[in-house]
Amino acid sequence: MIKDIQQQILKLKEENDICILAHCYQSPEILEVADFTGDSFALSVKASQVENKTVIMCGVRFMAETVKILSPNKKVILANPSAGCPMAEMMDKEVISLVKEQYPDYTVVAYINTTSELKTICDVCVTSSSALEICKKIDNDNILFIPDCNLGDWISKQLPEKNFKLLNGGCPTHAKMSERDVLKAKELHPNALFLVHPECTPDVVALADYVGSTTGIMDYAKQSDAKEFIIGTENSIVTHLQMSCPDKMFYPLSKDCICHNMKATTLVDVLNCCKGDFGEEIILDDHVYTEAKRCIDEMIRLG
Ligand code: 13P
Ligand code: SF4
What digits encode the pLDDT tens for the residues 66-100? 999 999 999 999 999 999 999 999 999 999 999 99
Residue 41 pLDDT: 76
Sequence-distant (≥ 6) Cβ neighbours of residue 260 within 8 angstroms: none
Determine whether 73 is exposed, middle or buried from the number of CB atoms within 10 Å of its CB (0-12, 13-18, 19+).
exposed
Q: Which residues of 202-214 are buried (b: 16+ CB within 10 A; e: fewer)?
A: eebbebbebbbbb
User: Does residue 44 carry a pLDDT above 80?
Assistant: no
What does the alpha-carbon distance between residue 151 and residue 91 come to, in Å, rounded to a whole number?
A: 16
Yes or no: say if 251 and 230 are a contact pair by the CB < 8 Å rule. Answer: yes
If you average pLDDT over residues 45-49, what whole number do you get? 82
User: Does residue 4 carry a pLDDT above 80?
Assistant: yes
Q: What is the pLDDT of residues 257-282, one digit of tens each?
A: 999 999 999 999 999 999 999 999 99
**Is residue 213 lining ligand 1, measured as CB closer than 6 Å?**
yes
Q: Which of 174, 217, 237 to mutate to test the pocket of ligand 2 (most atoms within 8 A of CB)?
A: 174
If you average pLDDT over residues 17-39, what whole number do you get? 95
Q: Which of 173, 174, 258, 260 to mutate to test the pocket of ligand 2 (most atoms within 8 A of CB)?
A: 173
Residue 270 pLDDT: 98
- The DSSP 8-state label assigned to residue 224 in this structure reads -
Residue 122 pLDDT: 98
What does the alpha-carbon distance between residue 111 and residue 117 come to, in Å, rounded to a whole number?
A: 13
